[in-house]
Structure 1
Amino acid sequence: MVIYLIGKMALSFYYKPYVNIPPNLKVSVIIPSYNENPEAILTTVQSIVVQEYPIHEIFFVDDGSSDDRGYHAVLEWKRKWENNFPSTSKKIKFVVHKLEKNKGKRHAQIWAFERATGDVFFTVDSDGYVHPDALTELLRPFADPEVMAVTGHINARNKDYSWFTKLLDMRYDNAFRVERAAQSVTGNILVCSGPISCYRREIVIDNLKNYGSQVFLGQEVQSGDDRCLTNYAILKGKTVYQENARCETDVPDSLKKFLKQQIRWNKSFYRESIIAFKIGFQKPILLIWVVFEMLLWILFGFIILVALLFKISSFGWVMLLYYLIALSFSAYARNIHFVVKRPHVFLIAPIYGMIHLVLLFPIRLYALMTIKEVKWGTR
C-alpha cells in the first residue's frame, strides 16, 4: 500500500493540463437544485452567465423543493437579466423549471438532459462559484476525440470559516492535485466531480434510460450521479482532469454535515466501485486504480479492528502507532505545496487523517447497512 501511495504521488508529477485551443462546441449547462440557499444559487447562476466561453443554453431545475425561495429568486434574477442585458440574454437560452414533486437529483438532471441540444453537457452544483475561464479550460481536452469527460479543480469557498473547513479545503486540494492528477495521466479519472464536469452529449443520452432507472439491491438509485456518469464515460474513452478549470463550493462547516456527506459518498463508493470493477476487465489500468483504492479502504478498517481486538496487548498499539506515523508522513508529503500556500494549515495536515481514523470506519459500516436508502443525503 505504501508503494501504491508513493507511486500515485510520483505519477501526479507527470500531469500536465491541456493548453490547446478549445474546440468549437455548443454547451448546455445543467444546474439541479433542492432546498438550496437563494444567495448560493444566484452566485452559481451569475458565475455561469459570465463565462468567457459562449454558452448555448442553461437549465436550472428545482427538484420539487419544499422551500421555493431559491426557485423564485432565479426567476426574478432571470427577468432582470433579460431586461438589463437584452443583447447578451438573447444569445443564451435560459430555462427555469420546477418539478411538481421531489424525485431526486438524477431526475432533475434528466429533465434538462432530455431537452438540451448542446454537444457537451456541463454539470454544475447549485452551491458553487465557477471561475470565468473554467468552461474554456474544461473544453480544451475535448480536442482529443478519445476524451469523453473532463473534471475541473475544486476548492472550499468557506475555507476560512473554521479550522475544520481549512482541513477540508486542503483535502480537496490533495484529492485533485495528487489523486485525480495521477489518474488523469492514465486517462482514467474515477470520479468527475458534480460541481464542475463536462460530458460529451452521446455519453449522457445513450445511457439516459439506465441513468434514471438504475437499481441496486432492489432500490432505485439517486446518489452517486457524478460517479455513475463517469463510469459511462470510461466505457467509451478517456476521463481526464483539467487543473486550470476552477470552482469553489461550500464544504460542510459542522461535523454533522460532514458525516451526512461521507455517508452519501460511501454508499456511492460501494455501488459504483463494483460497477467500475466490472468495467476494469475491459480496461486493465482502470482495474488497477479500482482494486488498490478498494484495498486502501479495507486496510483502513482492518487497522482499526486490530487495534480494538488487541487493545490489551502491545501488538495492537504498535500497529496503530506505525499507522499513525505513516499517516503523518503521507499527509505532509501529499500536501507539501501548502508549505508556501498556507503554512499554518500544512502543520495540522495529519489531523484530517486522524479524523478519518476515528470516524470513517463506523461511517462506512453504517453506509453499508443503510445503502438501500435513496435520499439526496445532504438536505
Structure 2
Amino acid sequence: MSSTDGEISIAEYGSVNVRPTRFPGVSGIRRLLARVAAIAIIAFCMAMVFGLRWGNVTYYWYQPLSNLYSIAIAGFIFSRFVLSFCYRAPKDINISPTVSIIITAFNEEDAIYRTVECCYAADYAASLFDVIVVDDGSSDGTIKEIQRAQQRWPSLALIAFERNKGKREAMAAGALLAKGEILVYVDSDSFLRSDGLRKIVQGFADPRVAAVAGHTEVANVTKNSLTKMQQARYYVAFRVIKAAESVFGTVTCCPGCFSAYRRSCMMEVLEPWLGQHFLGVQATFGDDRSLTNYLLRKYRVIYSADAIATTIVPEGHKQFLKQQLRWKKSWFRETLIAATFMWKKPPLAALAFYGQLLFPIIAPLLIVRICLWLPIANGDFVSPVVYLLGTVLIGLMFSAYYLFWNSDRYWIYGLYFTLYYLIFLVWQMPYAIATQRDNRWGTR
C-alpha cells in the first residue's frame, strides 16, 4: 500500500526515505475531526473510569486491597497522560558532536544492508560520524551482506565474532572500537530516519544526560493485525510512558532499536555491565535495560520524540510471545535492581516507579480473584464485569491518544493490545519470575 495513505509498505520499510508518518495525505478537516473524536473518547472514558473508581473509594473497606489497587493503577495511568503532555523534546540547538553508530547483528541477512544504508543516509556531516557493524557469529548470509555494504561504503568497520557471544559482548566490542563522543546503537533490523542522528544528539547538550532513547515505530505495520497492534502499542509506550519518565530524567530503558549514549559515561560502567550476574547466573538478555540502569544511578536518561527510527517487529504470535516473555524477565530483574536506588530520584518519579513495579506482579492474582474466586465463592458476577469494563475503557483511552496524534486507522489496535494483554501477556509474568535463572535468548 502506498505511504500516501499513512502506511509504510513492506517493500518500502528498509529504504532510506522511510519516514514514520504524521497525517500524510490527510486533509485538515479529517485531522480536525479525528482529534475532536479522540478528545471526546478520552473525556467519556475518563468520566466512566472515574465513576467506576468512585465505587472503590465509597466501598473501600469492603475490599481494601482490591480497591487500593484499582485506585492506585487508575491514578498511575492518569499521571502518565498528564506528564506526557508536560513533556518537551530536547531543543535542536545544532550541536554536532562526533558520533559512532554501532549496529549489532545476528542472522539478519534480509535487513542488515538496508540498516547500514539508512545510517549512511543520515543528515549529518560525514566527517563527524562513522559506522561499525559487529556480527555476533551469524550462521546465515549476514557477513556477505555486510561485505557488500563495505564495497559501497569503504569506511564501514566490521567486527566479526567466530561464535555467538551475545548482544552485550557485541555492544561492548563496538564501544571499545568507537572513537565518537556519542555512541548510537541501532538494531540490525531497524532503520533511522534521515534526521534521526541529528535529533538524538541534541539531548547531550545537557552535561547531566548520559543516554537518550530515540522514538521507534513499526516498519512492517501493514503485515497483519499483530503488527498493527504493536504499532499502536509502541507509540503509546514511547510517547506516553517514556515521555512521562523523561520529564524527570528517569527513562528506565533505552531500547536497542535506536538509542544514544555518552561514550565517557558508558566507559565508566562497561566492566560491571559486561560481568553482570543475577541469582548466580550471568545476565545474557535485557542488555539495553541493564545498561540504562547502570547509567541511571548517577546520570539523567531522557527520551527524544523527534529522533525517529522504524523497526521490524514479530509477525507471528509464537515469536511475539517469546519476545514478550524475554522482555518481562529482563524487566523484572532490572526493576528489582533499580528499586535499590530509584528512591533517590524526584518523589513523583520514585512513587510512579515503585507502583509500576508492583502492578504487573499483582495483576494476575487480582484477575484470578475477581474473575474466578468472587463468582465461584460469593456468586459475585458484577465485579468481573466492572473490572473488564474498566480495562477496556483504559485501553480505549490509549487508543484515542494515538488517534489524536496519528489520524490513521491503527488507533483501534491499541484496544486490541489491551485485550491481548489481558488474555495472554499478563500470565507471562509469574512464569518470567519463576524462570529468572533460565537465561536463554528465547527467539533465536
Task: Give the unaligned 5+ runs of structure 1.
Answer: 83-92
The counterpart of 2:374, out of the listed 276, 297, 310, is 310
Match for residue 264 of structure 1? 326
Give the Cα separation in 1 of the matches to 2:402 and 2:90. 24
Q: Does 1:345 align with 2:345?
A: no
Give the Cα separation in 2 of the matches to 1:209 and 1:317. 55
Match for residue 310 of structure 2? 248
Higher alpha-carbon deviation: 93-102 or 263-272: 93-102
* Shift in alpha-carbon separation, 1:22–1:238, aligned structure 2, 3 A: farther
After TM superposition, list the pairs within 5 Å mapping 1:100-115 onto structure 2. Answer: 100-115=162-177
Match for residue 17 of structure 1? 89
* Shift in alpha-carbon separation, 1:315–1:183, aligned structure 2, 3 A: farther
Task: Give the unaligned 5+ runs of structure 2.
Answer: 1-72
Higher alpha-carbon deviation: 306-315 or 252-261: 306-315
Q: Deviations over 1:320-358 (max 9, x none)?
A: 322221222212222324436355433343221111111
Q: Deviations over 1:101-127 (max 9, x none)?
A: 111100111111112121111111000
Q: CA deviation at 1:294?
A: 1.3
Q: TM-score scaled by structure 1?
A: 0.92
Give the Cα separation in 2 of the matches to 1:284 and 1:308. 39
Give the Cα separation in 2 of the matches to 1:205 and 1:369. 33
Q: TM-score scaled by structure 2?
A: 0.79
The counterpart of 1:336, out of the listed 382, 385, 400, is 400
The percent identity for this pair of structures is: 33
Matched residue of 2:305: which SS?
strand
Q: Contact (CA 8 Å) 1:105, 1:376: kept in 2 or not?
A: no
Give the Cα separation in 1 of the matches to 2:407 and 2:262. 37
Let me know the Cα RMSD of the aligned residues.
1.8
Q: Contact (CA 8 Å) 2:228, 2:413: kept in 1 or not?
A: no
After TM superposition, list the pairs within 5 Å mapping 1:184-203 onto structure 2. Answer: 184-203=246-265
Q: CA deviation at 1:22?
A: 3.5
After TM superposition, list the pairs within 5 Å mapping 1:213-232 onto structure 2. Answer: 213-232=275-294
* Shift in alpha-carbon separation, 1:105–1:117, aligned structure 2, 3 A: same
Q: Deviations over 1:115-162 (max 9, x none)?
A: 212111111100011101001110111111111111111111111111
Give the Cα separation in 1 of the matches to 2:135 and 2:395. 39
After TM superposition, list the pairs within 5 Å mapping 1:78-227 onto structure 2. Answer: 78-82=150-154, 93-227=155-289
Matched residue of 2:111: which SS?
helix
Give the Cα separation in 2 of the matches to 1:357 and 1:273. 21
Q: How many residues align?
A: 367
Q: Which has the larger radius of gyration?
A: 2
Q: Which amino acid aligns with 2:417?
A: Y
Q: CA deviation at 1:34?
A: 1.0
Give the Cα separation in 2 of the matches to 1:189 and 1:239. 5
Q: Does 1:8 align with 2:71?
A: no
Higher alpha-carbon deviation: 11-20 or 240-249: 11-20
Q: CA deviation at 1:98?
A: 1.2
Q: Contact (CA 8 Å) 1:60, 1:97: kept in 2 or not?
A: yes
* Shift in alpha-carbon separation, 1:21–1:303, aligned structure 2, 3 A: same
* Shift in alpha-carbon separation, 1:326–1:343, aligned structure 2, 3 A: farther
Match for residue 130 of structure 2? 57
Matched residue of 1:236: which SS?
coil
Q: Contact (CA 8 Å) 1:303, 1:319: kept in 2 or not?
A: no
Q: CA deviation at 1:57?
A: 2.2
Q: Contact (CA 8 Å) 1:153, 1:242: kept in 2 or not?
A: yes
Higher alpha-carbon deviation: 24-33 or 361-370: 361-370
